[in-house]
Each structure stands twice: as C-alpha cells, then as structure tokens.
Amino acid sequence: MADTLSRTSFSKKPAIIGWLVFFILIVAVLLLSYQRYLLFKEVRTSVLTKVALNARDKLKTALDYSATATRTLGFIVTRHGGKNDFDSVAKKLLEDHQYVDALELVEGGTITQVYPLKENAAAIGYNILKDSLLKQEALRAIKEKKMFYAGPFLLKQGYVGVVGRLPLFSGGKFWGFSASVVKMSTLIEAAELNTGANKDYLFQLSKIDPNTGKEHFFLKHPGNWIENDWASVAVAEGDWKIYARFVNPQTATAILPFAILGFLLSVSGALFAWYGARQPYRLQRLVEEKTRQLKASEERYFSFFEKASDTIIVTDAKGLITEVNTSICKLLGYSREELVGKKFLNFVRSDQPTIDALRLGLQQAENELVREWRLVKKNGEIVELEINVKKIDGDNNLAIGRDLTGLRQAQKQVAVSESTLHGAFEYSAIGMALVSPEGKWLKVNGALCRILGYSKDEMETMNFEDITHPQDKGEGTQFLNEAVYRQSNVFRSEKRYITKGGQQIWVNLNVSSVRDAEGRLLYFVTQTEDITEKKKTAELLQVREEQLRLFIEYSPAALAMFDKDMRYIITSKKFISAYGLEAKQVIGKIHYELFPDNPQRWRDIHAQCLAGHSAKREEDYYVDEHGKTVWLRWEVHPWRHFNGDIGGIILFTEIITTLKEAEIKFRTLVEQSLVGVCIVQDDKFAYVNPKFAEIFGYGPSEMITNSSPEDLMSSDPGKCI
C-alpha cells in the first residue's frame, strides 16, 4: 500500500522530474563545454607553441650567423693576430654572414675596433665592464667562457640592437671579446616577428632585466601580454622569451555552437523525463525486470569480474551500466555504486559513438565488436581503452577493455623522438644528408642545398660524384667500396665540391655508416661544413708569414729575431755574413752558444729588453775569439705577441770597425801634429790639439771649457790662418 502511494505521489510531480533532469543535463553540458574549451585551448596553445618555436628557430638561425662570424673573428685574433687586418677580415665576414650588422674587437673591456666604422664610430673607446647597468651579461660571458647575447638595448651607436660577445683568453687570462652587433630591426625581420610577415599571429620579444629582475617587452602591440592567451618559448642564447598569440582569439565562436546544442539537448532530455514521469507503472515494471536481470548477472559473473585484470562493464539495451568489476572502478576512480545504474555514455567523451551506433556496429560485426573508446575519469582526465563488446543475454552487452595509456605514452614518445630527429636534421646549421650505398642522395637538408646551390629535388636526382672535384673522387669511391664489405664505417676528409654555379668550395666532410641488426649497410649519414673561408684565411696567413720572412731575410741591415730563451727565430743574410755564421746552423740555436764571449753587460741588456725595455748604442765594441776588437752600433727592442705578451727581442747591428779605426788614426795624427788644430762647433771649441793650446798659452781642457773662439782669435789674429 505504501509503495503504491509512493509511486502515485511521484507520478504527480512530472514537472519537478523534468526540471531535475534539465539541471542535471545542463550541468553535464557545462562540464562537457568546459572540457571542449580546454581541448580547444590546448590545440590553440599547441599551434601557438609551434609558431613560437618556428620564430625561435628563425631567430636562432640569425644568431648562428652572428655566432659563426664572432667565433671566426675570435679565432683569427687569438691564433693569428688578426687585429691588424681587422677591417678587411670584418668586411669579409659581414659579406658572408647575413643578419650581422657590425663586428667589434674589445680589448679588456674597451671597444678598440669596429666595422663598419662610419655608422658605429661612437662605440670606439666605450668600456662595457665599467658600465654598471650593462656589464652583467658581459661578466656572465667571461665567467661561463662562452658566447652570450646581451640586449636588446640602446647602443652607443644610437640604435637598438643585440650584442653577442665571445670572451677571448690568452695563456688562461682574459684578453677581451670578439663581438657581433645585430640591429633590433634585423633581428625582428629575421625571425619574422613583425606583423607584416604574419597576419594571423602577434609576436612579442621579452627579457628579464639582470639588474632589476623585471620583464621588459620590446615590441609594441596592443593588449596585455601578462594574460594567459599566449604561448611562449625560451631562447637560451640571450635569456629571451618569444610570445605568440592569435590576432583573432575566436574562443566564443568555437564554444558557442556546442553550448547551444547542449542546451537544446538538455531541454529535450527534460521533456523526455517529464513525459516518462507520466508513465510510472510501465517504468516501474521495466525497473523490476532490470533489477531481476542484474541480480542474475551478479550471481553469474561475480567471481569472474572480481578476478579479471581487464576492465569489465555490462550494460543493458539502453546503455545503462548493470555491473562493473574492480579494475574499471580503480581505473576511472569511481566506486561500484557510482557506476552501476548510470548511462555508459555519461563516462564517454562526447565525440564517441552513441548506443544506437554501437548496436548497429554489433549487428554488422555479428554481435561482437572491437574498438577504441575514450572514457572520462572522475578527476576529469581522459583514459583510452580498447574494448571488446559482445552481445549476451538478449539485449545485454559485455564490454572487456584493455588500458591503452601506456601504449599511447610510448607512441607519443616515439613521435616526439622522430620529430626531434627531423628537426635536428632539417634545421641543422651544417649540411646533412642521407646517401645510399651507391652514392645517391636520398635526403638532404636546407643547409646542404644552400652550400651547393641546388634545390632538394635537384639533389635527389644526383649522386655524390656529380658535385665532387675530379681530383677528390678517388677517396670517396674507395670508402663506399670498403663500407659495403664492412671494412670501414667512418670517413672524414677535407675535400672540394663544385657548386651549381661552377664555383669550387672546400668542405669538411664526415660520413658514418648505418647498418641493420645483421650488419648490412642501409645508408650513410653525412655532415658537410663549408670551410672555404677558413681555407682562404689560412692561405692568407701563410702568405703574410712568407712575406715577413723574405723582408727580414733580405733586409740590407744586420738583424736577428730571438724568442724569450734567446734562440734564433729568423735572421737577415746580412747578419749571417757580418758575423761569419755562413757555415753554422743558426735557427733554433741559443745566441750565447754561437757567441760564448758575449760580454756580461750585453747579456744584462738583453735581459732588460726581454722585460720590456729598449736599448741602443751609437758606439760599442767587443773582442772576438781571435782577440780582435770589433766596433759596432746596435739597437735592441722587444717584440710582442698579439695579446701584448713579450715574445722575445729584435737585434739591429752595424759593424763600424773600419770607420772607428780611421777615426783613431786621425786622432793620433792630429795629437802628434806640429801644427795647431781645432774644431769649432756652435761658437765653442769642440776639440783642440796640444799644439793649438800651446800657441795660445792654455791647456786643452781650459780652452774647451773657458775660451771663446771669436775673442781668442780676434785678440791675436796673427797666430791663425
């Protein structure tokens, strides 16, 4: 009786049931709309991240040009004293490296040289290490001993730019920087961060000020970049961030249709519930029937359910869950009570098939269907299952599932790995390629195409011999033959290639073999670096060294160059002949081994000059091994390495023995002369012989110090000729 009254009372409130169903459905719609919003946002964030990464790759490409130019300049300066040829070297580097606007040479902390000078002259003499606001990043480059980019900031030149500084060290001590300057406008154009190049996206470039810790934004765009409607990536080379966001967000446009459809579905569900509430007795009979089936199913499958490691769900013809096992409860985070009696579709992503579609699929698959489903866990996470659905007991369905989370994670890792390898290949700064065992180009990257001047399609129709200099083909062909028979796996060589335009270039080539598990050769991986400019620089340095050698060797003066141990480095032929060294090996010998009787006073002078002093004598002598006095005039000067350290001394000498002997003979003749002789210089007696002094009744020293030639000779002109 009470049960009848309860059913009657319930059936009198269909409107309440309709509203209750409406609110439940609208909440579900809101939740699903929120999930759709999160998915929409995740997809957009992924797109923005890829766009930002693409901009970062372009930015890093521009920085790679800058880094290559800076390292090349640093190498020339530290290894070959290239600061003397700074303008010519810098000009060549700027011609060969796009996106670089200026090159600087910084000694200590002071900019001493810059190219081009006209636009950048204001930077000369500026000491970055004394600038309390801007020195932090320069000090960081010195501390980490690697290249670091500072800026963007307003440079002394009057424009905003980025400065890449490479610290240079000599003998373990900091010498200075080689630096490259990239204008802000150049950087923005290279990375395509300007609105003209990207109509769908807005970009922003920012950096944390090392002095204040605040983030500064460098591009002028409307809107607040602090809001969470963007994606950002870091650029480690300069501690920058690149932000990207859509010009038109369109978030509401993407979510609104789904929300409207959900609202209509909620209204339809409420009307359906209202209609159903008007038929309580029929519904009650259906509930009793399902309850009986549920109890029978529970007794039949209880043991199997609890012991199974796979997830098991039993649903009726309406899609209501009638039984679950412990595995599915643990996986979704629901208790048994929270799952049983609920629609299976309540736990399925909205984009999955409906029950009717599933029933049709079962009929077409002869009552057994296997497919993948995405279920929503209690905490909102999505889990993928491979579910085998089989029809049992009339209209009931048995679904046995296998968790695919581990498989999906593995697939994602494989995809990420493949994407990483693809990016490393395609965007490498050096040329890379895959080559068949026959030498045919299978795949090439953009850098190799730029080096050789061919397109990818052209390259893939050629083999390596088509671009190899005729004189360099032999070693490459030999390696291919050896690799086929497993006699070789690695090949390294400097060789010549011929570009599409017919130009001969030098490359540093590294080749590695890739084999399968049985050791069969699959293909080669090649890495190609254009070293043409390095070759030209090395040849230029060799020419300069030869010029210096010839200058010293054929100098008309007797000169010699020594290292700090007083070993001969180079001498002129005049020096060899002047000191009778034709029959001796001089280069590499210690000076005092060839001249053991060298006076100690000269050795002391050599030591002083090796400490940085210079010395000269207009007249000096030594006694040679034959006891003969040799007169000479000499100069000694220290020579220095490019970093300022003393490398040794240079000795200039001229033997004046003949001149000195003539002078002594003349003086002896005059001293013994019976005729008075004097030398007047600047209205004073510079010299008088004894006879001259005797004529005037003075001593020689008195006349030189006290007598006026004009007064003396005018007082007694008869004594003078």
Cβ-contact 207, 219 below 8 angstroms:
no
Q: Is the pLDDT of residue 154 over 90?
A: no
Topology of 13-278 in CATH?
Answer: Beta-Lactamase (3.30.450)
d(CA 285, CA 293): 12
Topology of 287-406 in CATH?
Answer: Beta-Lactamase (3.30.450)
**What are the residue ranges spanned by the domains of the chain?**
13-278, 287-406, 413-527, 554-660, 673-719
| Alpha helix positions (H), 492-572 | 532-553
User: What pLDDT, on the 0 to 100 scale, is given for residue 280?
Assistant: 67
CA-nearest of 167, 152, 148 to 236 is 148
Q: Is the pLDDT of residue 386 over 70?
A: yes
Q: Is the pLDDT of residue 13 over 50?
A: yes
How many residues does the structure list for the chain?
721
Q: Is the pLDDT of residue 364 over 70?
A: no
CATH superfamily membership of 554-660: PAS domain (3.30.450.20)
Residue at token pair 């249709």: 257
The CATH-assigned architecture of domain 413-527 is: 2-Layer Sandwich (3.30)
Question: What does the mean pLDDT of the chain come to?
Answer: 80
Q: Is the pLDDT of residue 12 over 60?
A: no
What does the pLDDT look like over 46-97, one tens digit per residue? 888 888 888 888 888 888 888 888 888 888 887 766 567 788 888 888 888 8
User: What pLDDT, on the 0 to 100 scale, is given for residue 717?
Assistant: 56
Q: Which of 101-110, 238-247, 261-270, 547-556 has the highest mean pLDDT?
A: 101-110
- Residue 413: helix, strand or coil by DSSP? helix
d(CA 206, CA 242): 7
CA-nearest of 234, 230, 233, 232 to 247 is 230
Q: How many CA atoms lie within 13 A of 488 on its CB side?
A: 15
Query: Residues 6 or more apart from 442 whose CB is under 8 A from it?
Result: 433, 434, 435, 436, 460, 523
d(CA 102, CA 155): 12
